Chains A and B, each alone.
Chain A
Amino acid sequence: MMIATMIRRSSNDEVLMKQTKPCCLSRRQFLQRAALTAVPLIVPGRVLGLDGAVAPSNRIVFGGIGIGNRARYILPNFLSFAEIQWVAVSDARAERLASAKEMIDTRYGTKDCRAYPDFRELLAQKDIDAVLIATGNRWHATASMFAAHAGKDVYCEKPISLTLKEGRKLVETCRRLGTIYQAGTQRRSTASYRFARDMVLQGKIGRVHTVESQVWCGSTVPHQKPAPVPDGWNYDMWLGPVQWRPYVPGRVQGHGWMCFWDTGEGMHTDMGTHYTDQMQWVLGTDNTGPVEFETSDIVWPDPVKFMSETAISGTFRCRYSNGIQGVIFQRGGFKDRYIRYIGDEGWIQVDDDTDEVTAEPKSILSLKKAGGVSWSNAGGHIGNFLASIRSRRPADCNPEVGHRAQSIVEAMTISARLGRKLKWDPATEKFNDEDANRMTWREPRAPWCV
């Protein structure tokens, strides 16, 4: 923000107040300013929140960390909120950083968006209240904790962590620092999913015994040679907490990184966490989880042909202590994903791609109100986050919620990798298996230990 720059350059507050367009002042700056200036001022109505506008003093100032495809997809949802002022972006790739700045500047019709190659610099900006974290998965929890330590509230894309212990650490960090945190499992704020949940809770399908979901088949990445790091990439920052390795395009670019254990954990983790999050919500188990994990029919990439490591297809199961079963099928295509609650008197299903709800008995559907946007619009989820920032009450997908949903898919991953059934104690967050317990943590590369 130009204003912020000017403020930093000068120490004369009164001169500044005359120079600046107050509409661009951040909430924090405004409050500081207001406290310092006892002289009465003439200000336009907009600044005071009249004329239907949100007063700058009341806007939440945002920065973005990691601006790739997902961030560009969800940014418009953020920018549509009048109570948000987006002032800064950060990315390890220069071209993405520049295009993100452009996107935001276009929205505001200014040149004020600041661009930081190092997200720690962004976090050091005092005017920023909250951040959107939409880096690659390897960075999610680490960046979230850095943000929390910097006193920012956080909206972080899913999956919120890559290991169980990292997730727990995130929960503790947010709790200790009073961080308002929203995990990006936005289906909690989506009408179709909320309807399905309501129906289950109202007993319309009887007693639930199984929650079934499906994600698409994982990709494979063929073996490939390293290449020079492209211009404008800070590859060391891109890797972040992950151990150094040569830059191999297929391993880094596109969604390649999703198919390797230390940068992603495959589709059942990445997408599956949306569904385990729904399941936990519907079952009311947000502060606990299943007690048993088992996997079957896992098809791994042929190591002779492919360098990718994560499963192509398979069945991932879990069981709660009350006997309710959860199952994630990884099979079929991208469009075939769904979640289905099965009870002893019927079932209800949300098809993710079409946002269509089906049920048996069909009569359930007559209860659904028309309208509502699908998962692709995160507006509701962001709204919930903004409300929480103001009220300082936990968001729908607060860290504990996000961590517990994520724990399920991570435990499934560990069970698949070890090829055995695992018992899990959700209170102590430990497996009955020493090998598995060792896999609940990966050592981040220095200096990214938080």
Chain B
Amino acid sequence: MNRRQFLQRTATTLTAPLLVPASALGLNGTVAPSNRIVFANIGIGGRARHVMPNFLAQPDIVFTAVSDCREDRMKSAKEMIDKHYGNQDCRMFSNFQELLAQKDIDAVFIATGDRWHATASVYAARAGKDMYCEKPISMCISEGRKLVETCRRHGTIYQGGTQRRSTSSYRFAVEMVRQGRIGRLHTVEIQVWTGPTVGHGKATPVPAGWDYDTWLGPVQWRPFVPERVNGWNYFWDTGEGPIIGMGCHYTDQMQWALGRDHTGPIEFDGECTWPDPVKYMSETPVTAEVHCRYADGIKCVMYSRKTFKDRYIRYIGDEGWIQVDDDTNEVTAEPKSILNLRGTTGAGYGNACDHVRNLLDSIRSRRPTICHPEAAHRSQTICQAMNIGLRLGRKLRWDPVKESFDCEEANRMRQREPRTPWLV
């Protein structure tokens, strides 16, 4: 029984006295069903299966439904959830709008492909659901702004899936920066891995059990090319490469450390290498070095180079630096004495439990989450502006108040037109 059902039930049966087990009343250390937050999932692929246990571990939620445009994935998600609860209750919806129409669902976990994130979030907000949405939270700047406005209008509690805000190693680094342990911060250095390339592939029939039209969603129709669908991260309209896919975690940290959640840098400049179009059909940068600058002179440089394991963020001040290696969750610093201040070592980025917890607490308190829409949108904007600069091959100035570039062509690229009927 979920919270909403329970309340209805009790209302109708209040006149007759009932014998109920203690667990239903929230005794014995359990959370009463009436007090559980009812969750559902939209889009269940690799990432969702990774984060799902962090949700299921929370005693005060219950997952009741899943939705995916791939039948096999949907079934395996139901299996995972049913196994956890020891029942067969998880509902499946091939259409996420049907899922959103379920009145008993309080919140959703959105873990679709990137192209769907903002659109699905806006739909969910309009349906009155709170949500946790995987990063990158949008595919273009205007979409992100729309998301912020929608959540504000509907009073939606929204958590951007940049869970490093709730990870102890990153929190420690940010705290050290804020306490001035490295002196005056002047540079934030970020490294993500080298962008993969995807060779040209031929169109094939859509595999059985795929609703390819829904998979595409807001993206223009094209034939089903397996390499392109599986490598969606490396095509502009379905993903934007590691600078966005991973970079937004770090720009999110930077914004947080600098206390700039409501604004952003004012200048973007960079260089990159592109996949050779003769050999590859992928479109996103292979290697890159992108710079941005805040109005107070603080600089950021993001490298896309080396391997997956080499990713890190480093805050450099005039008296030292502090760095978090993402792969190992190890914190290094200069002076080394900083590290003595670190308390117990928590879980790495791979565990999103605390980030989920933060959302659940916010759902109850109706206070903004740690990664609320404005914060998420602003850190996402940085990566998107970097990409626009790279695509146009020119330096861009950005007005974070108006959210507008000094270049008309770049301004046009703040927006992408979603395919009907996915205009939000």
Chain B, 253-289, CB within 8 A of any chain A CB: 274, 276-279, 281
Other-chain residue from A228, A300, A439, A443 in contact with B418 (beta carbon distance below 8 A): A443
Q: CB distance A303 to B213 under 8 Å?
A: no
Tell me whether A443 and B420 are in contact (CB under 8 A). yes
> Hey, which chain A residues are within 8 Å of B413, CB to CB?
244
Instruction: Indicate if A368 sits at the interface (CB-CB under 8 A).
Output: no
Chain A 323-352, CB-CB to B under 8 Å as 1, else 0, gives 000000000000000000000000000000
Q: Can you name the residue of chain B whose Cβ is closest to the Cβ of A436? A: B221
Closest B residue to A434 using CB positions: B213
Give chain A residues whose Cβ lies under 8 Å from the Cβ of B277. 223-226, 248, 307
What separation, in Å, do the CA atoms of A449 and B203 have in the docked complex?
31
**Which residue of the partner chain A has the closest CB to B220?**
A442
Q: Which residues of B contact A307 (CB under 8 A)?
A: 277
8 A Cβ contacts from B65-96 to A = none
Q: Say if the beta carbon of B416 comes within 8 Å of chain A.
A: yes
In Å, the complex CA distance between A307 and B282 comes to 12
Contacts known (A236-B412, A303-B200); A445 close to B276, Cβ less than 8 A: no
| Contact present for A236 and B409 (CB under 8 Å) | yes
Instruction: Point out the residues of chain A lying under 8 angstroms from B391, CB to CB.
Output: 244, 246
The interface residues of chain A lying within 8 Å CB-to-CB of B203 are 300, 303
- When A223-B277, A248-B277, A438-B221 are in contact, do A304 and B415 touch as well, CB less than 8 Å? no
- Cα A166 to Cα B237 with chains together (Å): 23
Contacts of B319 in A (CB 8 A): none
B59 at the interface (CB under 8 A from A): no
Interface check B223, CB cutoff 8 A = yes
**A444 within 8 A of partner (CB):** yes
In A188-240, the 8 Å CB interface with B consists of: 222-226, 228, 235-236
Q: Tell me, yes or no, whether A417 is within 8 Å of chain B by CB.
A: yes
Which among A224, A243, A246 is the interface contact of B417 at CB below 8 angstroms?
A243
Please name the residue on chain A nearest to B202 by beta carbon. Answer: A303
Q: How far is the CA of A434 from the CA of B223 in the complex (A)?
A: 15
Given the known interface contacts A246-B391, A304-B200, A434-B213, the answer about A441 and B223 at a Cβ–Cβ threshold of 8 Å is no
Once the chains bind, are A223 and B278 in contact (CB under 8 Å)? yes
Q: Assess whether A438 is in contact with B225, with CB atoms less than 8 Å apart.
A: no
Given A224-B277, A225-B276, A303-B225, residue A243 in contact with residue B200 (CB < 8 A)? no
Provide the bound-state CA to CA distance between A300 and B200, in Å.
Answer: 14
Per DSSP, are chain B's interface residues mostly helix, strand or loop, or mixed? loop
The B377-424 residues at the A interface (CB cut-off 8 A) are 391, 393, 408-409, 412-413, 415-420, 423
Instruction: Give A146-190 as 1s and 0s: 1 = Cβ < 8 Å from B's Cβ atoms.
Output: 000000000000000000000000000000000000000000000
**What is the CA–CA distance of A226 and B220 in the complex, to the nearest angstrom?**
22
> Would you give the shortest CB distance from B385 to chain A, in whole angstroms?
15
* A215 to B: closest C-beta gap in Å: 22
Assess A222 versus B278: contact at CB under 8 Å? Given A417-B223, A438-B420: yes
Find chain A residues with CB under 8 A from B417 CB.
243, 443-446, 449
Mask for A414-450, Cβ within 8 A of B = 1, else 0?
A: 0001000000000000000011001101111110010
CB-CB < 8 A to B26: which residues of A? none
Interface residues of B in 177-221 (CB under 8 A from A): 199-203, 213, 220-221
Give the chain A neighbours of B201 by CB distance below 8 A.
303
Contacting residues, chain A, for B221 (C-beta < 8 A): 417, 435, 438-439
**Is there contact, CB below 8 Å, between B419 and A446?**
no
Residue of A with least CB distance to B212? A435
CA distance A439 to B420 in the complex (A): 9
Interface centre among A223, A244, A304 (most CB of B within 10 A): A244
List residues 211-239 of chain B with CB under 8 A from any CB of chain A: 213, 220-221, 223, 225, 237
Q: Which residue of A434, A438, A449 has the most chain B CB atoms within 10 A of its CB atom?
A: A438
Hey, which chain A residues are within 8 Å of B412, CB to CB? 236, 244, 445-446
Q: State whether A435 and B213 are in contact (beta carbons under 8 Å apart), knowing that A225-B277, A244-B413, A445-B417 are contacts in the complex.
A: yes
Partner of B213, one of A228, A438, A443: A438
Q: Which B residues lie within 8 Å of A449 (CB)? A: 417
A92, chain B: closest CB distance, angstroms: 13
Residues of A contacting B220 with CB < 8 Å? 243, 262, 442-443
CB closest chain-B residue, reference A414: B221
A304 to B281 CA separation, bound complex (whole angstroms):
9
Nearest Cβ on chain A to B85's Cβ, whole angstroms = 35
Q: Measured between alpha carbons, how far is A307 from B278 in the docked complex, in Å?
A: 9
Given known A-B contacts A223-B277, A236-B409, A248-B277, A443 and B415 have beta carbons under 8 A apart: no
> In the assembly, what is the distance between CA of A307 and CA of B391, in Å?
19
Given contacts A222-B278, A223-B277, contact A438 B419 (CB under 8 A): yes
A247–chain B nearest beta-carbon distance, Å: 10
CA distance A223 to B278 in the complex (A): 5
Name the distance in Å between B287's Cβ and chain A's nearest Cβ. Answer: 16
How distant is A163 from chain B, measured CB to nearest CB, in Å? 11
Question: Are B420's CB and A441's CB within 8 A?
Answer: yes
Q: Name the distance in Å between A40's Cβ and chain B's nearest Cβ.
A: 52
Task: Given A236-B408, A303-B225, A435-B213, check contact A243 B278 (CB 8 Å).
Answer: no
Q: Give the complex CA separation of A222 and B276 in angstroms.
A: 12
Contacting A at CB under 8 A, from B107-146, are: none
Contact across chains for A446 and B200 when beta carbons are under 8 A apart = no
A441 to chain B minimum Cβ distance, whole angstroms, is 6
A438–B221 alpha-carbon span in the complex (Å): 8
- A residues 68-120 in Cβ contact with B at 8 Å: none
Chain B residues, CB < 8 A from A222: 278
- Closest Cβ–Cβ distance, residue A347 to chain B (whole Å): 37
Instruction: Tell me, in angstroms, the Cα distance from A222 to B277 when the chains sit together.
Output: 9
Within the complex, the shortest CB–CB distance from A378 to chain B, in Å, comes to: 34
Among B202, B279, B409, B415, the residue within 8 A (CB) of A446 is: B415
Distance of B422 from chain A, by nearest CB (Å)? 9
Give A443 to B202 CA distance when docked, in angstroms.
25
Chain A: which residue is nearest B420 at the CB level? A441
With the chains together, A446 CA to B199 CA distance in Å?
A: 31
The CA of A246 and the CA of B413, in the complex, are separated in Å by 12
Identify the interface centre among A222, A224, A228, A243: most chain B CB within 10 Å of its CB: A243
A198 to nearest B CB, angstroms? 42
Bound together, the chains give a CA A441 to CA B391 distance in angstroms of 27
Shortest A345–chain B CB gap in Å is 43
Chain B residue, CB-CB nearest to A246: B391
Separation in Å of the A259 CB from the closest CB of chain B? 15
**Please, which residue of chain B has its CB at the minimum distance from the CB of A303?**
B200
Specify which chain A residues have a CB less than 8 angstroms from the CB of B281 in the assembled complex.
303
Q: List 6 A-B contacts (CB under 8 A).
A: A225-B276, A243-B417, A244-B409, A442-B220, A443-B220, A443-B417
Q: Give me 12 other A-B pairs in contact (C-beta within 8 A), A303-B281, A417-B221 excluded.
A: A223-B278, A223-B279, A224-B278, A225-B276, A243-B237, A244-B413, A300-B203, A302-B202, A442-B419, A443-B423, A445-B412, A446-B415
List 9 A-B pairs, minimum CB-CB distance, nearest first. A443-B417, A304-B200, A223-B278, A223-B277, A303-B200, A236-B409, A446-B415, A303-B202, A244-B413
Residues of B within 8 A of A (CB): 199-203, 213, 220-221, 223, 225, 237, 274, 276-279, 281, 391, 393, 408-409, 412-413, 415-420, 423
